[in-house]
Amino acid sequence: MNRPSARRVPPPSAAPPPACTSTPLPGTPLPGTLLPDTLLLGALRPPLARALPATLTLARALHAEWTKLRTAGGTWTALLALVLATAGLGAAAAAGVSCPAAGCGEDATRLALTGVTLGQAVAVVLAAAAVGGEYGTGMIRTTLAAVPGRGTAYTAKAAALAGAVLLASTAAVLGSLLAGRLILPGSGFTPAHGYPPLSLGDGPTLRAAVGSVLYLALVALLTVGVATAVREPAAAAGVVLGLLYLFPLLTRVVADPDWQRRLQQVAPMPAGLAVQATTGLDRLPVPPWTGLAVLAGWSAGALLLGAALLRRRDA
Amino acid sequence: MTGDAAERDAAKRDALPGHAVTGAAVAGEAGTARDRTRAGRADGGEPNGTDAVTAQAGPAGRGRAGFRRLVRAELTKFLTVRGWTLAPAAALVTVLVGLLGTAAPGGADDGGFPRGPGGQAVNDAFFFVHRTLDGDGSITAQVGPLTGLTDPGPGGQAVPGVQPWAKAGIIVKAGPGRGSGYAAVMLTGAHGVRMQDDYTHDTAGPALAGDARRLRLVRTGEDITGYASGDGVHWTTLGTAHLPGLPRTVRAGLFVASPQAATDTGAGTGYAPAVATAEFGRPELVGGWQGNGWQGGQAGGDAGTSGSYSDTLRGGFTESAGRITVTGAGDIAPVVGGPPMGPAHTVENFLVGSFAGLLVLVVLGAVSVTAEYRRGLIRTTLAAHPGRGRVLAAKAAVLGTAAATAGLAGAALAVPLGRWRSHAAHFRDLPVTTATELRATAGTALLFALAALLALAAGVVLRRGAPAVTAVVAALVLPYLLATSGILPAGPAQWLLRLTPAAGFAIQQTVPRYPQVDGAYTPEFGYFPLPPWAGLAVLAGYTLAAGVLATVLLRRRDV
């Protein structure tokens, strides 16, 4: 009779790992130093990790992804490049275009935000390298061993990337608008010609600015999905850049106006960039926010495809 | 390779662990047998598998035979990894996306553009007041000032003003069909007196002012000579046009034509119907003129693609006291690209898929070297072939050949297939000469090769795939997109296509440019600021510079 009871109460030596790592209280703030232990234990004992509350697991995975992204070579360079490329091309466009007289028909806000067409390429590089790079180095196996819930690891990676890109693109868009505000009057975009200085106090301009920031984050998410699906950063960058840049080229060639309009309504870049328009809204093929929603649809589709393949395939 | 670089390479080789270095040392020490092998190789002996290993490790890798082995090694790598399928894939997407570009239905089923005697697409539409001339003869007419009206849109008042290339004058027409030969002297809206024949030939005449201005055409057999005079006394010969096969009986008389008016609107350039009107004095006829009355009508049935009438602006002629007043729209000129062409496809439209094919090859070019960095294969490659510049050259040779083949196959299929689809959908397509079509097709092959090599160089410089692909696409495709999509105005757009690698796409331009036709010769409508081969040379310059940078960095850096 003694032996079964002894079994039921395990000896102290067989006690589970220290309480601080195995059974944290929900809501307890986690010191950063705990993370490696948690990950290691999670790797060794997947059932234990699964037993954690889902939000906590996600928070830890997010922290891990953020650490990886923060410490990877090139991330900060890429984020800086995103800001500089966006604001730089915007400034160049603002300086290169002239408005000699009133009613020259240019959309000043959109002009100042031209750089987003280049900045998105940097967002693509960042996301493709962050996702696809793990496959190249084998890091993906470590990641998935540490966070066995593949959906969790994937969500965390997408969220960390989207957060980083949101930060950089906010700086990029604000920089572009500031450059436009300073440069455009010199190119003839003066109040006398019907162009007040660019200001976030102006409703459509604010919408264009917020929309451009979201646009860049959505492009990064699109890349996360594609890169997870194709697992090779260069190919992922090629596919996403193709999706973004080929549709507008095709639209130019299709000689039928109805088809042109239809293509502009479904293509990720032309539809998504409709959110930048502040003039001629009635001539847009798709309303601003609807256009951004079209891009969001592409991103969601790519993310779902990536998630499905990530769950199904060996890493 | 310079002596310094060779030394550096040798030092690197010594620092590298692994069998290849050992092999090289053995080859150096063991001496004679290897040397004999090298001598045999230099005589042109074909290498077999065993020899290749030893020979590659030593200085025998130099020379033409060594380079051939290098190319073979790169070719083997290229063919044994899955990536090589990207080259045929590039050709395939070039064709498929090209077909997508011509997928829209519904053009006018009218048998295509009229063709001029030179085979080019032409507009042959004007208001023609004519009689029949049998055999030789001449016509002389005084021509008054040219006036014009532009349609203002619904509900407005017609805007006065004559188009720069509105034409009024006398003409001899070889036949009734559209695109038949002609010779004419005319007064234009803003370009003075001209003599033109067979659509593409244009000669400026003297500056003549005043109401006494007269024009004359003299027909002698198949030759027609044009004259102009400011006073009816002193005549200037403008030139003689030879119209081969001109029939004995021709129609000749007075004509007026006006192309559409280009107007700058907020949304870009718009086109509005416009007519021109001119008053002629009583024509003096000499020679075999038939009948005794003037017949008037719109030649060609309508105003063509570059001119048009509206509800309020119509063509016609009136005769009073011998003077004839003629109003007309249309143009007698070659068709140029952009809005004056109307809905139609061009060869560059059929080649739109080359952007997709290019993207695939850029990925292939970048990955062909960045994958070696990722897997560490680059260390094996450079240990086996210490001449780093030659390794890069061998890679470039294999990649460039594959890319050019893909481009040639893709373009050679896309153009005829696109034309076939275009005809099936009842779209017009702008005819081009065989030489132009060959230039666009072969140019696509060169474009693909240069882009793939640019990506290869970017891959060596950046050593990571995604940045390399994106850098090349952002340098090659994005400027073209910004320049042609109407985001930027024409000035900055043209500078983009002069200065960036996107200038290379000029090699695909087939739409023609004529000084005597006012067209929208801007990137938005397919016109590059540089001539085709000059544009390709810009891209080649970028590729060369990137290749030099890549070679220098590859030699200098550790792997």
Hey, what are B148's tokens?
């014009």
Place of tokens 């062409």: B341
Out of B101, B266, B468, the one facing A254 most closely (by C-beta) is B101
DSSP, res A278: -
Does residue B47 register a pLDDT over 50?
Answer: no
Hey, what are A76's tokens?
């900060």
Phi, psi of B276 (to 5 degrees): -125, 150
User: Domain residues of chain B, as ranges?
Assistant: 1-61, 62-102+345-509+520-556, 122-334
Does residue B449 register a pLDDT over 80?
Answer: yes
Hey, what are B480's tokens?
């073209």
Does residue B102 register a pLDDT over 60?
Answer: yes
CA distance B492 to chain A (A): 6
CA-closest candidate to residue B334, choices B506, B166, B518, B185: B518
Segment B3-27 mean pLDDT: 40
Q: Provide the residue type at A73 as one letter.
A: G
pLDDT at residue A253, rounded to an integer = 80
Q: Is B483 left (phi over 0), alpha (psi -120 to 50) or beta?
A: alpha
Question: Inter-chain contact A114–B482, Cβ cutoff 8 Å?
Answer: yes
The answer to ipTM > 0.90 is: no
CA-closest candidate to residue B208, choices B195, B225, B223: B195
Q: Provide the residue type at B154 as one letter.
A: P
* Collapsed DSSP state (helix, strand, coil) of residue B3: helix
Around Cβ A226, how many Cβ atoms within 10 Å?
Answer: 28
Query: How many CA atoms, within 13 angstroms, populate the side-chain half-sphere of residue B535?
Result: 27
Digit-coded pLDDT (tens) for B180-228: 999 999 999 889 899 999 998 999 988 887 777 899 999 999 999 999 9
Query: How many CA atoms, within 13 angstroms, populate the side-chain half-sphere of residue A307?
Result: 17
pLDDT at residue A25, rounded to an integer = 43
| pLDDT < 50 positions in chain A | 1-49
Question: Inter-chain contact A246–B97, Cβ cutoff 8 Å?
Answer: yes
CA-closest candidate to residue A242, choices A268, A262, A220, A211: A268
Does residue B43 register a pLDDT over 60?
Answer: no
Question: Inter-chain contact A255–B104, Cβ cutoff 8 Å?
Answer: yes
Does residue B112 register a pLDDT over 90?
Answer: no
CA distance B512 to chain A (A): 17
Q: Give the pairing of strands B344-345 and B428-429.
A: parallel
Tell me which chain A residues have a C-beta less than 8 angstroms from the C-beta of B494. none
H, E, C per residue of A99-153? CCCCCCCCCHHHHHCCCHHHHHHHHHHHHHHHHHHHHHHCHHHHHHHHCCCHHHH
pLDDT at residue B341, rounded to an integer = 81
Identify the band that residue B98 occupies on the pLDDT scale cut at 50, 70 and 90.
confident
Longest dimension (CA), chain B: 111
User: Residues of B numbered 485-514 whose beta carbons fall under 8 angstroms of chain A's beta carbons: which are they?
Assistant: 485, 487-489, 491-492, 495
pLDDT at residue B553, rounded to an integer = 92
| Angle between the N-to-C axes of helices A257-266 and A233-253, in degrees from 0 to 180, rounded to the nearest 10 | 150
Q: Give the pairing of strands B193-197 and B182-188.
A: antiparallel
A244: nearest CA partner in chain B: B478
Between 3.30.160, 2.60.60, 1.20.58, 2.60.120, what CATH number should domain B122-334 receive? 2.60.120
Segment B435-452 mean pLDDT: 94
Question: Inter-chain contact A136–B374, Cβ cutoff 8 Å?
Answer: yes
Separation between Cα atoms, residue A66 and residue A156, nearest integer Å: 8
pLDDT at residue B464, rounded to an integer = 86
Question: Inter-chain contact A124–B466, Cβ cutoff 8 Å?
Answer: yes
Segment B73-82 mean pLDDT: 78
Q: Provide the residue type at B471 as one letter.
A: A
**Which site among A249, A251, A258, A262 would you substitute to test the B interface, given the most B Cβ atoms closer than 10 Å to its Cβ?**
A249
